[in-house]
Structure formats: structure tokens, C-alpha cells
């Protein structure tokens, strides 16, 4: 009788989606795809991945790029820290490992932004190493397959999941085996309506045998997202097509490293002060923007100000609508600019 491993590989060969990063064994390209796929849907990632690799086709090309160029290719994907860590990581590979992603698992795990999951994905897919991966999809499949009834995130659950994944990956085609597990979680063993009748593991699945598919995996207790009230100031100079907007960089805790409008908790004057910007503020907000991050709900009052006379600001710079396209600007900043009619 076929083993779980064999069933997974046969199913993956037949049903696995043809995705751009599945057509390569280049560890750099796999690294980029894995970082982009964290917290982000496959359909969203595909155009970003293709654009990113066409601008930075090699690890060296990315290492030599400046941060603004890298972030501008990430603009809209969110979780910008991932991009900065990827950039730092490839620079370290150039400096320390002669521009070749290390085959040694320990060395890979020591790179900025590479945790156990990303290291395992690169190791198994690019280097054919028997290294496990456990992400959200794999956790769900393994929890159901082995009927793991302790909450996700608990130490004992994490340990058990990694042990099961490490056991399964041993053998031929470890990269495909890992991808098969991830694919099964993404397309068949989905969170709310798993298609058990189409699953290659239905006769092995202990949750299915015990009628516990709907209750597994056990979710961790979630904290309610924190509500945060902010004031953002869109300070502009000029009119019509010549209108320029002040953006600042570096001192915004929520989006450090990206360009954004000055913001502060509740008070637009504090936002201008912190940015070192002298501008005539219109006292009433012109609108409100809601933005949801993983652990925070942001409610932002948007103010406008005229910065006609201001020529310099701490960390700040004037941008034309065209020059805005060249730098990393978060989705939130786009929303705020749109609210103020600056695009
Ligand atoms: S049988 Fe159902 S619950 Fe079990 S692994 Fe397959 S899809 Fe998931």
C-alpha cells in the first residue's frame, strides 16, 4: 500500500499548480518567493515576484540596489520589514558567502530574515536537502492528519508539528514533498471547507476518521486588535499638476524606512513638529482613513497644510506625483494621499 509520502508526491505531480517559482531551482528566486508569500496570497504575489525578478534578476543585482528601489517594488505588498531583511540578507550573502546562498542549513538560518521555515524551503527546494517546513498550511494539514489536539502556537504543538514534518520529508524529492504539503493545505485541506473526498490522504487522516476535521487545528487564543487614533498631515506646495507633497522618512514607527506623510497620535501639530515642518495647517480634518494591520486597527484623521514657504525639513523631501512612483510608499500612505486628493 502506498505511504503518505508516496500519495502526496503522486497527487502533487498531478494536481500541483504551475506557479512561477516552481519553474526554478535558483535559491535566490526561491528565497524571494518565500519571503513574498509570507502572510500574502499566491495570486497577489505572482505579479510582484515577476516584476521584482525582472528588475533584480540576480542576488548581486539586488544587493547592489538601493533600499528605495527595493521598497518601491514592494509597495502595496505590505509587511515592508520583510523586504528590508531580504535586502540585508542578500548583501550578507554577497559579503560573506561569495554571492552564493549557503547550502549549509546553519549558515542559511543565520542570515537576516531567514527563519527555520524559509531556510527549510530554500534547502529542500533548491538544494534537495531533507529539511522540513511548517507554515500555516502545513500546520493545518498535519494537525488534521495526525489529530493533534493542542493549540497552535503552544510549544508542544510546535515541536510535534516540526517533528512530524521532519519525519515526512525524509526520502526522495524533499522539496516536492514540502511543496505538496503546502499545496494540499492551500487547495484541498483549507481552513473552513476542506475537500476530504478529493484528498489523497483521506484514508490516513485521523481527524477524518474521528469526525474532528472541523474542530482541528485548535486555534490559539487571539488578542483583540488594538485601536490606534492618529492624525496625518498632507502638506503640499504648489497647485494643479505642479503640486508637490512633503514626505518624511525614518521616524514613523509603523512604517519605518518607507516614505510617508507626518503622523502623530491624535494631534496634527505634533505631527508637523516631529517632522520639523513649518506649514499652515487647516484646523479641521478633511477626511478619515481606516487601516487594518495584523494587531492594530488604525483610525487616521487626515489634515491638509500649506507648506508654500517651507524649503527644508528634518528627514523630509518634496515629491511630485511622478517622483512618488520611484520610492517605497506604503498602501496606507497611498490611501491618505488619495483622501487629500494628492496622487
Ligand atoms: S482528509 Fe480532509 S482533513 Fe484530512 S488531510 Fe485530507 S483534506 Fe485535510
Along the 343 residues of the chain, how does pLDDT read in single tens digits? Answer: 789 999 999 999 999 999 999 999 999 999 999 999 998 899 999 999 999 999 999 999 999 999 889 988 998 888 888 999 999 999 999 999 999 999 999 999 999 999 999 999 999 999 999 999 999 999 999 999 999 999 999 999 999 999 999 999 999 999 999 999 999 999 999 999 999 999 999 999 999 999 999 999 999 877 788 889 898 999 888 887 778 888 887 655 566 568 888 888 878 888 888 888 888 888 788 889 999 887 889 999 999 988 877 666 667 888 888 888 777 788 888 899 888 888 6
Residue 180's beta-bridge partner residues? none
Decide the pairing of beta strands 287-292 and 259-260. unpaired
**Ligand 1 center to 286 CA (angstroms):** 51
- Atom 2 of ligand 1: nearest residue by CA position: 196
| Catalytic residue annotation | 34
- Give the pocket of ligand 1 (CB within 6 Å): 141, 144-145, 188-189, 194, 196, 199, 201-202, 205, 207-208, 213
- Exposure class string for 130-166: b at 16+ Cβ within 10 A, else e: bbbbbbebbbbbbbbbbbbebebeeeebeebbbebbe
- Distance in Å, CA 187 to ligand 1 centroid: 11
Ligand 1 atom at minimum distance from 202 CA: 1
Q: Which atom of ligand 1 is nearest to the CA of 140?
A: 8
Q: What is the pTM of this model?
A: 0.74
Hey, what domains does the chain have and what are their CATH numbers? 4-209 (1.10.340.30), 226-339 (3.90.79.10)
Q: Mutate which of 202, 210, 216 to test ligand 1's pocket (most atoms within 8 Å of Cβ)?
A: 202
- H/E segment holding residue 247: strand 244-249
Q: How far is the CA of 110 from the centre of ligand 1 (A)?
A: 35
Amino acid at each position: 500500500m502506498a505511504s503518505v509520502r508516496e500519495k502526496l508526491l503522486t497527487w502533487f505531480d498531478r494536481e500541483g499548480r504551475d506557479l512561477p517559482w516552481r519553474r526554478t531551482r535558483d535559491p535566490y528566486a526561491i528565497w524571494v518567493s518565500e519571503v513574498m508569500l509570507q502572510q500574502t496570497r499566491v495570486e497577489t504575489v505572482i505579479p510582484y515576484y515577476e516584476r521584482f525578478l525582472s528588475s533584480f534578476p540576480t542576488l548581486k543585482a539586488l544587493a547592489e540596489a538601493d533600499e528605495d528601489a527595493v521598497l518601491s517594488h514592494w509597495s502595496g505588498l505590505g509587511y515592508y520589514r520583510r523586504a528590508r531583511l531580504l535586502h540585508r540578507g542578500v548583501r550578507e550573502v554577497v559579503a560573506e558567502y561569495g554571492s552564493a546562498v549557503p547550502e549549509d542549513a546553519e549558515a542559511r538560518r543565520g542570515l537576516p530574515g531567514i527563519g527555520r521555515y524559509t531556510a527549510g524551503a530554500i534547502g529542500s527546494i533548491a538544494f534537495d536537502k531533507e529539511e522540513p517546513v511548517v507554515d500555516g498550511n502545513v500546520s493545518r494539514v498535519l494537525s488534521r492528519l495526525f489529530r493533534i489536539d493542542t493549540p497552535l502556537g503552544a510549544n508542544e504543538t510546535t515541536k510535534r508539528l516540526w517533528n512530524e514534518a521532519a519525519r515526512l520529508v525524509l526520502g526522495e524529492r524533499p522539496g516536492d514533498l514540502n511543496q505538496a504539503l503546502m499545496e494540499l493545505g492551500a487547495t484541498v485541506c483549507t481552513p473552513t471547507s476542506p475537500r476530504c473526498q478529493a484528498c489523497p490522504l483521506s484514508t490516513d487522516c485521523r481527524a477524518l476518521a474521528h469526525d474532528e476535521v472541523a474542530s482541528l487545528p485548535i486555534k490559539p487564543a487571539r488578542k483583540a486588535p488594538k485601536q490606534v487614533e492618529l492624525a496625518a498631515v498632507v502638506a503640499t506646495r504648489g497647485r494643479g499638476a505642479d503640486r508637490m507633497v512633503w514626505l518624511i522618512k525614518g521616524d514613523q514607527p509603523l512604517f519605518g524606512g518607507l516614505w510617508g506623510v507626518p503622523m502623530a497620535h491624535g494631534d496634527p501639530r505634533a505631527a508637523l513638529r516631529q517632522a520639523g515642518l513649518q506649514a499652515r495647517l487647516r484646523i479641521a480634518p478633511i477626511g478619515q482613513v481606516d487601516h487594518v494591520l495584523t494587531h492594530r486597527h488604525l483610525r487616521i484623521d487626515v489634515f491638509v497644510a500649506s507648506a508654500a514657504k517651507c524649503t527644508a525639513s528634518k528627514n523630509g523631501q518634496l515629491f511630485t506625483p511622478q517622483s512618488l512612483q520611484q520610492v517605497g510608499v506604503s498602501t496606507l500612505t497611498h490611501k491618505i494621499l488619495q483622501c487629500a486628493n494628492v496622487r
